[in-house]
């Protein structure tokens, strides 16, 4: 069951997302095309370390399901994939 997100954690997550998006925009053009892949690799490693490989697999499966249905997460608003995230 998903819990209610901690408002402070949500604010900090939104801040982190904005800082990362701004940093990506500041990359040289030849690197910007690779930013999504690089961020995905970093995120996958961080999630696996945070919740373990099995739970990370479930989180990414839920994300895959959302994307397969055309529900792309917005850049500025986090989506909840597990009770442990914002």
Prediction pTM value: 0.67
The structure tokens listed for 6 are 């901690």
**Cα within 13 Å of Cα(11), Cβ side:** 3
Greater confidence (82 vs 25) lies with 25
Residue for token digits 């997550």? 13
Tokens 């995905």 sit at which residue? Answer: 40
Structural domain boundaries in the chain: 7-68
Residue 35 to residue 14: CA distance in whole angstroms:
19
pLDDT tens-digit readout, 1-39:
345 557 787 788 889 888 998 999 999 988 988 998 999
Stated as kind and residue range, the H or E segment containing 20 is: helix 7-25
Element (H, E) at 2: none
């Amino acid at each position: 069951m998903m819990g209610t997100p901690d408002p402070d954690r949500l604010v900090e997550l939104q801040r982190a997302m904005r800082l990362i998006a701004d940093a990506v925009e500041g990359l040289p053009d030849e690197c910007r095309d690779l930013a999504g892949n690089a961020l995905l690799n970093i995120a996958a490693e961080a999630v696996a370390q945070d919740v373990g490989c099995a739970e990370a697999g479930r989180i990414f499966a839920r994300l895959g399901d959302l994307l397969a249905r055309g529900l792309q997460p917005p850049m500025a608003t986090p989506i909840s994939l597990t009770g442990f995230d914002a």
